[in-house]
Structure 1
Amino acid sequence: MGAAMIAHRQQANAENWMFPPSGGWTSSQVKGLDLPFDWELVDGVIVARGQTKFWHNDVRDGLLEALKAQRVQPLKVTAEQCVLVDEYNTPKPDIIVFDPTGLDYFELECIPLDKLSLIVEVVSPGSRQDDRVRKPALFAAHKVPCYWRVELDRDQKLAVHEYWLNADTLAYFPAPMHPVHHDKLVTRLPFPIEIDLNELLGF
C-alpha cells in the first residue's frame, strides 16, 4: 500500500514525465509541469504537440478574432486552453467557446467540459487522425454541443466541417443546413456567426 500511495503522489517533472506510473499520470500530477514544448495529457500519457505551419496558426487566430467579435454574453472564446475531460485527459483544442459562469477567473486552468459550447480544431498533417476521429468521439461522448473541423482542401481553400451533437446517441452529425462551409461560414450555433473564410487565408 505504501508504494501505491507514493506512486499516486508522484509528480511529473522534467526528468520523469516520459515514464508515467502504471495507471498513467493524472491531471493533478502534471499540474504545473514546465517542459520546453507544448503538450497535452492523453489517456494518462504526456504527449508533445507537433509543430504547426504558419497557415494553421494564422487561420486559428483569424477564427479566434471573428468568434470573439461576434460572441454573445456570457460566452467567452479562447485558444490553446486545456479542457478537463477526466483526470487522465486534458486536451488543448485550437479554439473553444465556453460559459464562464461560476468559474474562478484567477484560478482557472482547465475548462470543465460541461461549460463548453463549441470546439474548433484546425487540422494539420500531424493531427488528422486525432481531429477527424478520436477528438470528435471524445467530445461528443462528453456532450459538447458543437464541433468544427477546419481543413485545407485540394485548392488550398478552407473547408469548415460543422457538426452538431445528437443528445440521444452522444455522437456528432453534420449540421443539416451547411455540413461543410466554403467561402463563407454562416451558422446559428452556438450563436449567430458569419465569417468570410477567404479573408482568413494569405498574407
Structure 2
Amino acid sequence: MGAVMAAEARYQQPERATPENWMYPPADGWTYDQVKELVLPCDWELLGGKIVVRGETRWWHNRVRNRLYTRIDDLLQEPYTVEAEQALFVDKRNAPRPDVLVFDKTGLDVGTVDCIPVENAVLAIEVVSPGSVSEDRLYKPTIYASVGIDYYWRVERGPDIAPEVHEFWRDAEAGLFVPSPERRTHVGTLKTTVPFPIEIDLRNLIKI
C-alpha cells in the first residue's frame, strides 16, 4: 500500500508537501507556501523547488558555525542582527538556511517572522562540510549574489583544521560575487570592515 501511495504522489499535483510526498516535487517544483509547514525528522531547505535534506555535520562544522555566530553577535552594529540556520526567503522556490545570516532587522517582528526577506540580508555565511561542497561553493553563492546580498563568506577547513574564511563582495554590475578587494582569504585572523568592523581569531573557534 505504501508503495502505491508513493507512486500516485509522483503524478498528482499536491497542494502542499507532506512527509509522504515531499521527495516527489510537482513539475515546476515546490513553493515556499507548500513546504513551510512540513515537518521531517531531519533538517532541510528549499533549493530550486526541491526539498534538500541537510546532511549530518561533524563537530568541527557545528563548533565553527556556533562560535562564528557568537563572535559576530558580540560585534553587531545597528541596524543589524545575526542568526544561525535562519530560513531566508529568496523567492517562492528558494528558501535556503545559511549557516549564519546577518540581516537588517528594521521592520521585522521577531514574534511572527518565519523566513527573513532577502532584501534585509547583508551577509550569508556557509561552513563547508563534505556533504555540502557543491551547494556552498557553487549553487548558494550564485543565488545569494543574483538577489542582491552584498557579502558572502565561505568557511573551509584548513590543513591544520583551523577554519579559513574566503570573503566575497558582490559585483553589482555582474551580479556575481568576487573575492574581497581587501583580503580574499583570511587565515589565522579574520579582519574585515564590512558589513561592519569584524575581527575574529579563527584558531579560537575550534578550541575545546
Q: Indicate the TM-score class for this superposition, using the shorter chain for normalisation.
A: over 0.9
Q: Which residue of 2 aligns with 1:47?
A: 52
1:178 is matched by which residue type in structure 2?
Answer: R
Partners of 1:184 and 1:116 lie apart in 2 by 24
Q: Which residue of 2 aligns with 1:95?
A: 100
Q: What pairs with 1:94-133 in structure 2 (closer than 5 Å)?
A: 94-133=99-138
Q: Which residue of 2 aligns with 1:195?
A: 200
2:203 is matched by which residue type in structure 1?
Answer: N
Partners of 1:65 and 1:155 lie apart in 2 by 22
1:27 is matched by which residue type in structure 2?
Answer: Y
Secondary structure of 2:13's counterpart equals helix
Partners of 1:134 and 1:124 lie apart in 2 by 15
Partners of 1:157 and 1:120 lie apart in 2 by 16
**Which string of whole-angstrom CA distances, capped at 9 and with x for unpartnered residues, describes residues 91-117 of structure 1?**
110000000111222210111111011
What percentage of residue pairs aligned between the two structures are identical? 46
Q: Which residue of 2 aligns with 1:3?
A: none
Give the root-mean-square deviation of aligned CA atoms: 1.2
Structure 1 moving runs of 4+ over 2 Å = none
Partners of 1:134 and 1:105 lie apart in 2 by 29
Partners of 2:109 and 2:163 lie apart in 1 by 36
The Cα of 1:157 is off from its aligned counterpart by: 2.1
Partners of 2:28 and 2:163 lie apart in 1 by 40
The Cα of 1:140 is off from its aligned counterpart by: 0.6
Q: Which residue of 2 aligns with 1:140?
A: 145
Secondary structure of 2:16's counterpart equals coil
2:100 is matched by which residue type in structure 1?
Answer: I
2:39 aligned to which of 34, 43, 64: 34
TM-score, normalisation: structure 2: 0.91
2:96 is matched by which residue type in structure 1?
Answer: P
List gaps (5 residues or longer) in structure 1: 1-5
Partners of 2:119 and 2:91 lie apart in 1 by 11
2:165 aligned to which of 160, 171, 174: 160
Partners of 2:120 and 2:61 lie apart in 1 by 26
Q: Matched residue pairs, number?
A: 197
TM-score, normalisation: structure 1: 0.94
Secondary structure of 1:138's counterpart equals helix
Secondary structure of 2:207's counterpart equals coil
